[in-house]
Structure 1
Amino acid sequence: MRDALATVVEHSDKGNEPLQWNDVSESLSNEEWGRLIREGVLVSDGTGFTVANPERVREALQPDEPMDTTTDTDGIEAESWAWYDKAAGLAALSLFAGYWSTGIRDTIASYDDLLLAPVTDAFPFFAVIILLAIVTGLYSTVLQSRLRDTEKIQAYQKRVNELKERKEAAKERGDDEALAELQEEQMEVASDQLGMFKLQFRPMVWIMLLTIPVFLWLRWKVRGGHLGASEFGLIVPLAGAVGWQEPLFGPMKTWIVWYFLCSMVSRQLIQKTFDIQPTASQSD
């Protein structure tokens, strides 16, 4: 590829000007042109293709200088969970059984009630839900920001976007050979989704360890008849006085809607207060 690089540098004013295929078609083969684009030596700038790193290319053309035209597009390394991550995952799956098993739910809720009984004695039930929403929101937001590997997720997103741009460029110039090779690379990128899933699901496992017991306790408290006689429900605009077990939004009961609303608001406030980014979609 040294000759191909030399041709590109020569026709692009030492890598400073954009190129079109017609500019070098007499000196380069279709395959060489496609390879330069596939390996990231040439990148599209909207009007043509420019040398991605002119200085590096010029160094590679120096005598006795090793040439490396590849870019850092390796797939995301599959994330290996530590033993405690796996243990947390198994525990979270076990807690899920409480949604269907009354015995498991009652057992979990009775232990939760030992800790929450002083809170329920001191505050009305709607305020208890607010406090729980704030605690779970803080726990969830901090864990997600600390356990999410933002750099790897951004690397994956960048690779997907670059591959899309290279496919569009290959379609524009009608390079079927490059499209076939890019299709193979796309299959490799698809295999990275397993690593992405592990990266994104790891914080969720730890978050569920707290949120599931809280939700089970709330369900046990309301549906099990463990509320005080004075804990009727909420006064909601337009709907008026609504009991905790009455449907408020479609089939969703009042206590579920109130808990989710409090959770969403508390998480937004926590993210704003501590300047925590909720996603990894920030651009480089």
Structure 2
Amino acid sequence: MSGLWTLTDKLVASLAFLLATGYAVAPVRELVVAGVGGLLAPLSVWLPFSALIVVLGGASGVTSALARAVVRDGDRAEQARDRVEQLRDRITEADGDVDPAVQEEISSEMFTALAENLRPAAYSAAVSVPAFIWLRWAFAAPAAAVAPAAVVLPVVGTVAWSAAVIGPVKLWLVWYLGASLSTGALARRGLARLGLS
């Protein structure tokens, strides 16, 4: 990826990887929790906790849409995919007699397409990983008393944030993913209208 990613891309990917170690490494997790908690402190005064989850999910969704529109070189990825298809057609026509240079070019073009698709993922992860780590901590650290135990939902009534919705999937995770996916879709639609995607 050295020729495909800029220095900024590599730094952001390294940061995202370092932050992701917070899932398993306690000192990193504590730094992430303190940092995100510090950023959310002013919001927590004015917003209910359910809205904080929406803000975190929304930030992840918008970052993902923006990174995909701004960072990803869609033309380069599409050209790489088209070239792979052309080369595969040549292999099919060659009836199994594959030139090693063609195989190498296929690998190179597939790598180019993969690298272009991973670039926005690195930027998105730099936002979503800390948000997710903080939320996991907020619901798993009752001693901290950060998250309320339950939320009142229309029709359903009072439901614990830690209640399983489907299998091991908890209500707070569904809430976060819903906010992330919906705001990401709205952001992509808005960027498309502006001609940026």
TM class by shorter-chain length?
A: 0.7 to 0.9
Pairing partner for 2:141 from 224, 247, 258: 224
Unaligned 5+ runs, structure 1: 1-76, 171-177
Q: TM-score, normalised by structure 2?
A: 0.82
Q: CA RMSD in A?
A: 2.8
> Structure 2 CA distance, aligned partners of 1:242 and 1:259?
15
Q: Give 1:237 deviation, angstroms.
A: 5.7
Q: Indicate if the aligned counterparts of 1:160 and 1:189 stay in contact, CA closer than 8 A.
A: yes
Q: Give 1:227 deviation, angstroms.
A: 4.2
Structure 1 residue identity aligned to 2:162: Q
Alignment of 1:11-22 (within 5 A): none
Unaligned 5+ runs, structure 2: none
1:252 to 2:173 alignment: no
> Structure 1 CA distance, aligned partners of 2:178 and 2:145?
21
Structure 1 residue identity aligned to 2:153: I
Q: Give 1:109 deviation, angstroms.
A: 1.0
Larger Rg over CA atoms: 1
CA 1:228–1:93: 2 relative to 1, 3 Å: closer
Instruction: Give the match's secondary structure for 1:81.
Output: coil
1:233 to 2:151 alignment: yes
| Structure ranking higher in helix proportion | 2
1:149 to 2:73 alignment: yes
1:101 to 2:25 alignment: yes
> Structure 1 CA distance, aligned partners of 2:135 and 2:13?
22
Structure 2 residue identity aligned to 1:122: W
For 1:196-231, what per-residue CA distance to the aligned partner results, in whole angstroms no more than 9, with x for missing partners?
222221221122111111111112222112446855
Q: Which has the higher contact order (CA 8 A, sep 6+)?
A: 2
Match of 1:38 in 2: none
CA 1:275–1:237: 2 relative to 1, 3 Å: farther
Q: Give 1:148 deviation, angstroms.
A: 0.7
> Structure 2 CA distance, aligned partners of 1:93 and 1:180?
41
Match of 1:179 in 2: 95
> Structure 2 CA distance, aligned partners of 1:83 and 1:229?
38
Match of 2:45 in 1: 121
**Identical-residue share of aligned pairs (%):** 26
CA 1:158–1:274: 2 relative to 1, 3 Å: same
Q: Indicate if the aligned counterparts of 1:98 and 1:104 stay in contact, CA closer than 8 A.
A: yes
Q: How many residues align?
A: 193
1:263 to 2:187 alignment: no
